[in-house]
Amino acid sequence: MSQPPKQSADHPVPTSTDVARLAGVSRATVSYVLNNTSAVRISEPTRRRVREAAEELGYVPHAAARSLRAGHSRMVLLPTSHVPVGPLYSRFLNEVQWALRALDYTVVQYGSLGLGADEAARAWAELRPVAVLSLGEIALSAHGVQVLKRSGAKAVITLGPQRVEGAHALVMDQRAIGSAAARHLLERGRRAIGVVVPAEPGLELFSRPRLAGVRRTVTTAGEASGARVEPLTMAYDEESAARLAAGWGALGLDAVYAYNDEYAQLLMRALQDAGVDVPGECAVVGADDLLLGKLLRPRLSTVHIELPTGREIAELVDRVVRDPDGEVERHDLMAAHTVPRESS
């Protein structure tokens, strides 16, 4: 009693051995009963005794020990970044979780903040997940994929702007978004298109392809028209937006595609405060089709993104897990279409 805190030496976590002892049976029997092993017949009285013993001790099986023995787990790793990823993706991510749970997978989000691609992959591999579903915000190198596969991952799936060697890729080509916005603006007769590129680090994976999409469309369709594209770096705060708006006249732009609806809202407000008429002098288009766009005045034109459903993703994961050596299917999804409202 006078000794320092005995740690939890007095708090022994109950194991199946404890349950067996209390029930007066072997560990094997405990295992059979608690797992309802059908290949083996256990008498009803015994079952009851085991169950009661487990209950009384508050026994909870040790997942690590179990999967160590089994040689595999049903853990799907969902790496998360520190990037504020916006409401659209948050909802999508939750959908995926739901759907995976429904297929009896254990979903674990593992934050690998501040780790490089290869360190991160190694950290994930230590957990021996059966599948890794990278949402694309996360760096994943060809080498990383190899490490994961060697560590037993049946499925390594990237869901993002770019393919990764060796992984199943659900390519969500963010360029489609920029393209849709640009096409819309060109149709409206705009010729000098600004593109807001968020200053926030981590968003480049999204913003760069979106910008590239605008460029592609403008150079392709707009060649004869002499249209041009102007990248505009802007942080998600008022000063940055105000600064950009203050120098607006000098830019000579008649339209801007503002990355997403939130950045669009910020910039549109700054433009209005600076006396720039929207859409008269400058059209504004956002993306993601958030509710807030409809609440703004003028109502914000936006690019609606058609994400795959959580169930589709979950089923793909399941399919690949079951047949890892199947064809590495390449999916191109992410339909994007413009929702014209009043700001353009």
The partner in contact with residue 35, picked from a copy of itself, DNA, none with C-beta cut-offs of 5 to 8 angstroms by kind, is DNA
Q: Which residues lie near DNA (CB under 7 A)?
A: 13, 15-17, 24-32, 34-35, 37, 39-43, 45-46, 59-62, 65-66, 68-71
Burial label for 27, CB within 10 Å (0-12, 13-18, 19+), is middle
240 binds a copy of itself (CB under 8 A): no
Q: What is the rounded distance in angstroms from the CA atom of residue 171 to the CA atom of residue 155? A: 15
The partner in contact with residue 70, picked from a copy of itself, DNA, none with C-beta cut-offs of 5 to 8 angstroms by kind, is DNA
Q: Which of 42, 74, 87, 337 binds a copy of itself (CB under 8 A)?
A: 87
Q: Which of 21, 46, 51, 67 binds a copy of itself (CB under 8 A)?
A: 67
Q: How far is the CB of 142 from a copy of itself (least distance, A)?
A: 13
Q: Which of 26, 55, 56, 91 binds a copy of itself (CB under 8 A)?
A: 91
Considering only residues 31-60, where is the footprint of a copy of itself by CB under 8 A?
58, 60
The partner in contact with residue 176, picked from a copy of itself, DNA, none with C-beta cut-offs of 5 to 8 angstroms by kind, is none
Asked whether the beta carbons of 202 and 82 are under 8 A apart, the reply is yes
280 — phi, psi (to 5°)?
-50, -65
| Inter-CA distances, 17 with 20, 58, 213, 248, 251, Å | 5, 13, 62, 74, 75
Question: Smaller CB distance to DNA: residue 27 or 188?
Answer: 27
Q: What is the rounded distance in angstroms from the CA atom of residue 59 to the CA atom of residue 344? A: 63
Task: Count the residues of the shown chain that bind a copy of itself, applying the rule CB under 8 A.
Answer: 59
Q: What is the rounded distance in angstroms from the CA atom of residue 313 to the CA atom of residue 326? A: 16
End-to-end C-alpha distance for the chain, whole angstroms: 76
The partner in contact with residue 142, picked from a copy of itself, DNA, none with C-beta cut-offs of 5 to 8 angstroms by kind, is none
Question: Smaller CB distance to a copy of itself: residue 93 or 193?
Answer: 93
Asked if residue 14 has a cis previous peptide bond (ω within 30° of 0), the answer is no
Instruction: Considering only the stretches 18-26, 123-131, 164-172, 276-284, report the one whose residues sit in contact with a copy of itself under the rule CB under 8 A.
Output: 123-131
Interface mask toward a copy of itself for 145-174; x: CB under 8 A: -xx-xxxx-x--------------------
The partner in contact with residue 324, picked from DNA, a copy of itself, none with C-beta cut-offs of 5 to 8 angstroms by kind, is a copy of itself
Q: What is the rounded distance in angstroms from the CA atom of residue 214 to the CA atom of residue 179? A: 5
